[in-house]
Amino acid sequence: MKNKGFTLIELLAVILILGSLSTIITISIMKTMHNARVKECETFVKKIEDSACTYVALTNKTITCNRNLCPDFKLSVLISEGFIVEDTDPCTKEDVDANATISVRWNASTGEKTCTYNGVKEYAG
């Protein structure tokens, strides 16, 4: 009578192959999740900077700007005016720092505004 079934070597080979595949898949998923979090952080920063430029453009009567720069202002201004509604900073996973400053600069040659968020700018995880 012939024994039917797998030998110990065959079972170990299958376990080794499944373990290797699961490791590769896990690493790939973790890398994808990290990249998504970094992109979410970059999008948040870009949203703040765009909102700041929009705020300055809409309120240029109340904010006096010369050709080179506007006064820096706090993120709390954008929050109180409804330009930013997030409670949590996706870069740090903590509450948004309302005291972070935003700088607005003018390019004299092109007349373009550049708004820069001076808070956390990269994913801290």
The pLDDT, as a whole number, for residue 54 is: 85
pLDDT at residue 1 greater than cutoff 80: no
The model's pLDDT over 8-66, given as tens digits with 9 standing for 90+, comes to: 899 999 999 999 999 999 999 999 999 999 999 899 888 888 888 888 878 765 556 66
**Residue ranges per domain, the chain?**
8-117
Pairing of strands 88-89, 94-95: antiparallel
Give this prediction's pTM: 0.73
**Cα angle at 43 between 37 and 44, to 5 degrees?**
90
The model's pLDDT over 108-125, given as tens digits with 9 standing for 90+, comes to: 677 677 788 887 777 776
